[in-house]
């Protein structure tokens, strides 16, 4: 998995490439420094798979953003990742753009 | 009951430290099994992973999952390209109180553990069967030589 962070004017875009699973989720969780962030976007255009461990990290991020009055969205998930959001019910929890 | 109330009651009763909850969703780590729970106001959806399909006998194992789908309140799924089976259970939020939630979650986790164990046990058996089949029924390549 590869993670790219880009912070500009309070908007943080985290691009995740590869698989977000039990092995790689701690790495993403460690990258969730949200100081000065008002908008958080996970760019999943190159994410191949997300596991329940990955969903848990997204929930941690969502909780942090809600606590500071910010917003979070998940952008460009592929069909497989979107299917996982749908079947687990997470499509109604995260804003998907 | 309200979802947030259910989750916070559960965390308090069972002293769950590693609980992540946002409005309408939660993730619990129970003995290494991460269970996500989502509410849409009417239904609770539990989900967790079983594991990757076996390298040998994947079709046979998928048949077992399909058969189990017919007899269980939970069902198996595999998203395209995901390489991982997940198990999902849905129940009506209206019918769930604290005790029913505990029972449903325990039953779900036991089900996940059972199928994880079955998958683990299945892998070496399927691999051995495939190796036995290969030795008993050698195949021949396009050049006419036996493939080993």
The DSSP-derived string for B57-93 is SHHHHHHHHHHHHHH-SEEEE--TT---EEEEEEEEG
Chain A interface, best mutation among B27, B87, B88, B90, by max A CB count within 10 A: B27
pLDDT at A9: 92
Residue B93 lies in a domain: yes
- CB burial of residue B8 (10 Å; 0-12, 13-18, 19+): middle
d(CA A89, CA B27): 12
pLDDT band at B128 (very low <50, low <70, confident <90, very high): confident
| Contact between B26 and A84 using a beta-carbon 8 Å cutoff | no
Buried b (16+ CB within 10 A) or exposed e, B82-117: bebbbbbbbbebeebeeeebbebbeebbebbbebbe
pLDDT band at B73 (very low <50, low <70, confident <90, very high): confident
pLDDT band at B146 (very low <50, low <70, confident <90, very high): low
d(CA B112, CA B66): 15
Residue B94 lies in a domain: yes
pLDDT at B41: 86
Contact between B104 and B72 (Cβ < 8 Å) = no
Residue B9 lies in a domain: yes
In which domain, by residue range, is B51 found? 3-137
pLDDT at B148: 52
Residues in chain B within 8 Å Cβ distance of A71: none
Residues in chain A within 8 Å Cβ distance of B23: 66, 93
Q: How many domains does chain B have?
A: 1
d(CA B5, CA B98): 9
Q: How many domains does chain A have?
A: 1
**Percent of chain B residues past pLDDT 90, beyond the cut:** 45
Over its length of 97 residues, how does chain A's per-residue pLDDT go in tens digits?
899 999 999 999 999 999 898 889 999 999 888 888 999 999 999 999 899 899 999 999 999 999 999 999 999 999 989 999 999 999 989 999 9
Chain B interface, best mutation among A58, A73, A89, by max B CB count within 10 A: A89
Contact between B14 and B28 (Cβ < 8 Å) = no
Which of A53-62, B23-32, B117-126, B135-144 has the least mean pLDDT? B135-144
Radius of gyration of chain A (CA): 12
Residue B145 lies in a domain: no
Residues B101-129 have a mean pLDDT of 92
pLDDT at B147: 57
- CB of A23 within 8 Å of a chain B CB? The answer is no
Neighbours of A72 (CB within 10 A): 21
Chain A: closest CA distance from residue B122 (Å): 22
pLDDT at B145: 63
Give the CA distances from residue B53 to residues A57, B69, B99, in Å, rounded to whole numbers and listed in that order. Answer: 24, 16, 34
Residue B84 lies in a domain: yes
- CB burial of residue A81 (10 Å; 0-12, 13-18, 19+): buried
Three-state secondary structure along A50-83?
ECHHHHHHHHHHHHHHHHCCCEEEEECCCHHHHH
Extract the tokens encoding B43.
């239904």
Chain B: closest CA distance from residue A71 (Å): 13
Residues in chain B within 8 Å Cβ distance of A55: 27, 34, 36
In which domain, by residue range, is A12 found? 2-96
| Contact between B79 and A87 using a beta-carbon 8 Å cutoff | yes
Which of A11-15, B26-30, B76-80 has the least mean pLDDT? B76-80
CATH of the domain at B121: 3.30.1460.10
Note the ipTM here: 0.81
Residue B138: is its pLDDT beyond 80?
no
pLDDT at B19: 84
d(CA A45, CA A75): 7
CATH of the domain at A18: 3.30.750.24
d(CA A86, CA A79): 10
pLDDT band at B15 (very low <50, low <70, confident <90, very high): confident
pLDDT at B21: 85
pTM exceeds cut of 0.95: no
Chain A: closest CA distance from residue B125 (Å): 26
Residue B143 lies in a domain: no
Residue B34 lies in a domain: yes
pLDDT at B90: 93
Residues B36-64 have a mean pLDDT of 92
């Amino acid at each position: 998995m590869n993670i790219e962070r880009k912070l500009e004017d309070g908007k943080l875009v985290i691009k995740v490439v590869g698989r977000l699973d039990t092995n790689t989720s701690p790495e993403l969780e460690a990258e969730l420094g949200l100081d000065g962030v008002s908008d958080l976007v996970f760019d999943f255009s190159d994410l191949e798979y997300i596991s329940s461990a990955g969903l848990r990290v997204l929930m941690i991020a969502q909780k942090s953003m809600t606590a500071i009055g910010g917003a979070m969205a998940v952008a460009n998930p592929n069909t497989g990742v979107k299917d996982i959001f749908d079947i687990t019910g997470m499509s109604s929890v995260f804003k998907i753009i | 009951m309200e979802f947030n109330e259910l989750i916070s009651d559960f965390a308090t009763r069972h002293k769950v430290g590693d609980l992540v909850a946002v409005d309408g969703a939660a993730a619990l780590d129970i003995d290494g099994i991460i269970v996500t729970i989502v509410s849409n106001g009417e239904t609770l959806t539990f989900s967790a992973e079983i594991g990757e399909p076996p390298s040998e006998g994947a079709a046979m194992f998928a048949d077992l999952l399909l058969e189990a789908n017919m007899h269980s309140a939970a069902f198996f799924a595999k998203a395209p390209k995901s390489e991982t089976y997940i198990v999902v259970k849905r129940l009506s939020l209206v019918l769930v109180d604290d005790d029913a939630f505990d029972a449903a979650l325990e039953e779900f986790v036991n089900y996940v553990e059972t199928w994880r164990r079955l998958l683990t046990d299945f892998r070496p058996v399927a691999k051995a069967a495939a190796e036995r089949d290969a030795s008993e029924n050698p195949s021949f390549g396009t050049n006419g030589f036996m493939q080993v």
